[in-house]
Structures are given as structure tokens and as C-alpha cells.
Amino acid sequence: MWTPDKIRETVAADKVVLFTKGSRYQPMCGFSAKAIGILERLTDQFTVVNIFDDPSIRPALVAFSNWPTTPQLFIQGELIGGSDIMEELAAQGDLRRRLEQAQVPLR
């Protein structure tokens, strides 16, 4: 069972964690596919958590982040946002900088 504490542990365990609808190789919505694509252009060092793997993930995620939509990107435990925010940050170069600051190996 997922709880906000388990979400906290998950985002603390890896430098980059993306909660999505579907998996890294089979996203189940366009926004999740966009978010995965943005990250894959920058690095292969990220964890994907499929919110459909367990019905308790999504409510725990929303309770933890206070953000109602998916995908949700966390870098070093900090909520960055969803695919639209990721797209904007990537276009400005800020997403790359955040990954560099977190010492994530980049492409």
C-alpha cells in the first residue's frame, strides 16, 4: 500500500523520479509520453513509477505533492511539475541545469 511517506521515500531514493500513467516503454497517455520523451532526450538515469500498478499510488501522490495531475517529475525530492512545465524548462535549458546540479549523467 502506497502512502505519502512511501512517496517521500521513493522520491528520496533516486535523483530523478517520474510518476506516469503507464511505463517508460508503454506510456498510457500523451502527457506521460511527452514527459518520458523529454527526459530521455537528456538522460537515461531516471525512475518511472506507473500509477496504474497499484490503486493506492495516485491518492498518495496527490496527498504528498498537492498536485492533482500526472505526470509528476521530482528531482532530488523536489516536485518540478508535469509535462508542460517540463517542456518549458527544457526549452529554456533549465531542466538540463537542474539535472546537472543534481549530478545526473546527461546525454
- CATH number for the domain harbouring residue 74: 3.40.30.10
Domain that holds residue 88: 4-101
> What's the rounded mean pLDDT across residues 6-34?
98
How many independent structural domains does the chain possess? 1
Domain membership of residue 107 (yes or no) is no
Q: Sign of torsion, CA 31 8 68 52?
A: positive
> What's the rounded mean pLDDT across residues 15-43?
98
Query: Does residue 71 have a cis bond before it (omega within 30 degrees)?
Result: yes
The predicted pLDDT at position 15 comes to: 98
Rounded-to-integer distance, Cα 24 and Cα 47, Å: 9
Domain membership of residue 106 (yes or no) is no
Q: Are 90 and 33 in contact (CB under 8 A)?
A: no
Q: Mind listing the pLDDT tens digit for each residue in 44-96? A: 999 999 999 999 999 999 999 999 999 999 999 999 999 999 999 999 999 99
The predicted pLDDT at position 34 comes to: 98
Domain membership of residue 55 (yes or no) is yes
Q: Amino acid letter at 29?
A: C
